[in-house]
Structure 1
Amino acid sequence: MQEDIISQIRYSCSCNDTKAQEYLDDELRHLRELQEVNDLREDDIGMACSNLGLDLDYQEYFINRLAGA
């Protein structure tokens, strides 16, 4: 699924794989920071998808990553 997400980000942001991975890492880092201060909301995960040009179907990916899966 990771490769699929990178591919989608690369397409939506018109960037290369490295930049797409950086964008994904930045969004995950932001969500983790919110989680650490108990300020993570469902809308934040939806916003991460939107920021990366991903469908909301990818919310489960972010939830699993935040849960350590």
Structure 2
Amino acid sequence: MGENIIDLICNSCSCDKTEAQEYLDSELQYLRELQDMDDLRESDIELVCSNLGLDLDYQEYFINRLAGA
């Protein structure tokens, strides 16, 4: 996971860095909303990884972001 997540999203979604950041922010907002409703599941994080074209290894990234790390 040494490569920048934005670069990975750019490559997988064929977009520029601005769009990749918007995609990432949108998916994080979605996860935060689920977390706020106490309805966040592991499958939701897997879906976000899939939506962004990331390996499931990146689940930890999203868990840490949701935890405020």
TM-score under structure 2 length normalisation: 0.95
Aligned residue number for residue 62 of structure 2: 62
CA deviation profile, 1:3-40 (whole Å, cap 9, x unmatched): 61100000000000000000000000000000000000
Aligned mates of 1:29, 1:41 — CA distance in 2: 15
Aligned residue number for residue 12 of structure 1: 12
Specify every segment of 5 or more residues in structure 1 that has no aligned partner in the other structure, as ranges.
Answer: none
Residue 42 (str. 1) matches residue 51 (str. 2): no
Q: After TM superposition, where is structure 1 displaced by more than 2 Å over at least 4 residues in a row? A: none
Residue 53 (str. 1) matches residue 57 (str. 2): no
Aligned mates of 1:14, 1:42 — CA distance in 2: 26
Q: Name whichever structure is richer in helix by fraction.
A: 1
Instruction: Say what the alpha-carbon RMSD is for the aligned residues.
Output: 1.1
SS across alignment from 2:23: helix
Aligned mates of 1:54, 1:64 — CA distance in 2: 16
What is the aligned-residue identity percentage?
74
Size of the aligned set, in residue pairs, is 68
TM-score under structure 1 length normalisation: 0.95
